Structure 1
Amino acid sequence: MHQSGSNGDSGMPFVRFDNVQKSYDGRTLVVKGFEMDIEQGEFITLLGPSGSGKSTVLMMMAGFEQPTHGEIYLNGNPIKKLPPHKRGIGLVFQNYALFPHMTVEENLAFPLQVRNLSKSEIEKKVKRALDMVRLSDFGHRRPAHLSGGQQQRVAVARALVFEPELVLMDEPLGALDKNLREEMQYEIKHIQEDLGVTMIYVTHDQSEALTMSDRIAVFNDGVVQQLATPEELYERPVNAFVAQFIGENNRLRGDVISMNNQACQVKIPNGDIITAKPVAVGQTGEKSTLSLRPERIVINPEQGVLSNIFDAKVEEVIYLGDHLRTRVSVCESDEFIIKTPNAEGHPNLQRGDTIRIGWSEEDCRALDAS
Structure 2
Amino acid sequence: MADEVLVSFRGVQKSYDGESLIVKNLDLDIRRGEFLTLLGPSGSGKTTCLMMLAGFETPSHGEIHFDGKLLNHIPPHKRNIGMVFQNYALFPHMTVAENLAYPLTLRKMGKSEIADRVKNGLAMVRLESLGHRYPGQLSGGQQQRVALARALVFEPKLVLMDEPLGALDKQLREHMQLEIKHLHERLGVTVVYVTHDQGEALTMSDRVAVFKDGIIQQIDTASTLYESPANSFVANFIGENNTLRGEVVDLAGELCDVRLHDGALVKARRVAMLGSGEVTSMSVRPERVRLNAAAAGCENRLQARLMEFIYLGDHVRLRMEVAGQGGFIVKVPVGEVDAAWQVGDMMDVGWMARDVRALDALAA
Point out where structure 1 has 5 or more consecutive residues left out of the alignment.
Answer: 8-12
1:297 to 289, 294, 312: 289
What pairs with 1:186-197 in structure 2 (closer than 5 Å)? 186-197=178-189
327-336 vs 49-58, greater mean Cα deviation: 327-336
Aligned to 2:233: 241
Which residue identity lines up with residue 200 of structure 1 in the other structure? Answer: V
Partners of 2:295 and 2:350 within 8 A in 1: no
1:312 to 282, 304, 310: 304
Aligned to 1:208: 200
Aligned to 2:63: 71
Partners of 1:281 and 1:366 within 8 A in 2: no
Partners of 2:295 and 2:349 within 8 A in 1: no
Deviation per CA, 1:316-368, whole angstroms, max 9, x where unpaired?
2233222121111111112111002233x543322222111101111111111
- Superposed CA RMSD: 1.3
Aligned to 2:17: 25
Aligned to 1:108: 100
Give the % identical residues.
58
2:43 to 32, 51, 69: 51
Partners of 1:46 and 1:219 within 8 A in 2: yes
TM-score of the two chains, using structure 2 as the length reference: 0.96
**Alpha-carbon separation, structure 2, partners of 1:334 and 1:358:** 16
| Corresponding residue SS for 2:361 | coil
Aligned to 2:222: 230
How far the C-alpha of 1:168 sits from its partner, in A, is 0.1
Partners of 1:301 and 1:358 within 8 A in 2: no
1:83 to 75, 79, 85: 75
Partners of 1:6 and 1:14 within 8 A in 2: no
**Alpha-carbon separation, structure 1, partners of 2:160 and 2:342:** 49
How far the C-alpha of 1:20 sits from its partner, in A, is 1.0
Q: Call closer, same or farther: CA 1:124–1:303 in 2, change over 3 Å.
A: closer
Aligned to 1:10: none
Aligned to 2:209: 217
| Corresponding residue SS for 2:354 | coil
Deviation per CA, 1:192-215, whole angstroms, max 9, x where unpaired?
110000000000000000000000
What pairs with 1:124-203 in structure 2 (closer than 5 Å)? 124-203=116-195
1:61 to 18, 35, 53: 53
Which residue identity lines up with residue 338 of structure 2 in the other structure? Answer: P
How far the C-alpha of 1:58 sits from its partner, in A, is 0.2
Question: Is 1:6 matched up with 2:3?
Answer: yes
Question: Is 1:338 matched up with 2:325?
Answer: no
Partners of 2:296 and 2:350 within 8 A in 1: no
1:286 to 268, 278, 282: 278
How far the C-alpha of 1:286 sits from its partner, in A, is 0.9
How far the C-alpha of 1:304 sits from its partner, in A, is 6.0
Question: Is 1:329 matched up with 2:326?
Answer: no
Q: Call closer, same or farther: CA 1:286–1:367 in 2, change over 3 Å.
A: same
**Alpha-carbon separation, structure 1, partners of 2:157 and 2:187:** 9
How far the C-alpha of 1:280 sits from its partner, in A, is 1.2
Aligned to 2:338: 347
| Corresponding residue SS for 2:297 | coil
Which residue identity lines up with residue 321 of structure 1 in the other structure? Answer: G
Partners of 1:238 and 1:367 within 8 A in 2: yes
**Alpha-carbon separation, structure 1, partners of 2:312 and 2:60:** 49
Q: Call closer, same or farther: CA 1:310–1:156 in 2, change over 3 Å.
A: same
Which residue identity lines up with residue 3 of structure 2 in the other structure? Answer: S
| Corresponding residue SS for 1:237 | coil
Deviation per CA, 1:232-260, whole angstroms, max 9, x where unpaired?
00000000000000000011111111113
